Amino acid sequence: MRKITADLFISLDGVVEAPDQWHFPYFNDEMGAAVVATVGSSDTILLGRRTYDSFAGAWPEREAAGGEDAAFAKTLGDARKIVVSNQQLEFTWRNSERLQGDLIEAVTALKNEPGDGTIAMSGSVSVVRQLLVAGLLDELHLLVHPIAVRKGMRLFDEGEPAIPLTLISSQTFTTGVLNLVYAPAESVGKAGYEEAKAHLPQPGR
């Protein structure tokens, strides 16, 4: 079964909206390497329509311009890009297609396709939320920026049920950005103060 990973730029207060307005001061070689290691190394990219429109409006031109980011732009262009949309779309960016049918059923089938290449996601918050709840997301990569944006859409909205996660790796960049990788976890169960107080420091010990 293929693995699905999601990469998100996120602020300290959980905002994921419009990262182009606040995250670039923190972008350095460490963050660039983290992005390339996930999105840039995947043969398939799953995107929501808004994120796809943003990518398709920028990366083909950057590839054609031949600048410093042309190699990464070519990598994105060469990858298979699958777009989640309820509307019919006309694609101008090569290797692009629309996800057909119900999201959960279609992504389940995508994971079961032959091969072991990773399916990467970037942005596409609404899709990430749905795949998390459905248990289809294998890894959630959060690049946590040391800034409170204080406005905009947050990653986790209100709803049921709770989504337990387990931290599988962490790295601190020189900019103060935290590169945190989470995977789905079993429920932690129920506990209250009576259980917690056993772990408090005891006088005289």
Is residue 162, in this structure, part of any structural domain at all? yes
**What is the domain count for the chain?**
1
Q: What is the CATH number of the domain that holds 177?
A: 3.40.430.10
What is the spatial distance between Cα 61 and Cα 73, in angstroms, rounded to a whole number?
9
pLDDT at 201: 86
User: Around Cβ 34, how many Cβ atoms within 10 Å?
Assistant: 19
Beta strands 44-48 and 4-11: pairing type? unpaired
Contact call for residues 3 and 11 (beta carbons, < 8 A): no
Is residue 22, in this structure, part of any structural domain at all? yes
Going from the C-alpha of 164 to that of each of 132, 160, 167, the distances in angstroms are 10, 12, 10
> What confidence tens digit (pLDDT) does each residue in 144-176 have?
999 999 999 999 988 878 899 999 999 999 999
pLDDT at 158: 85
| Whether the model pTM is above 0.95 | no
> What confidence tens digit (pLDDT) does each residue in 96-147 have?
999 999 999 999 999 999 988 899 999 999 999 999 999 999 999 999 999 9
Of the chain, the end-to-end C-alpha distance in Å amounts to 50
Host domain of residue 153: 4-199
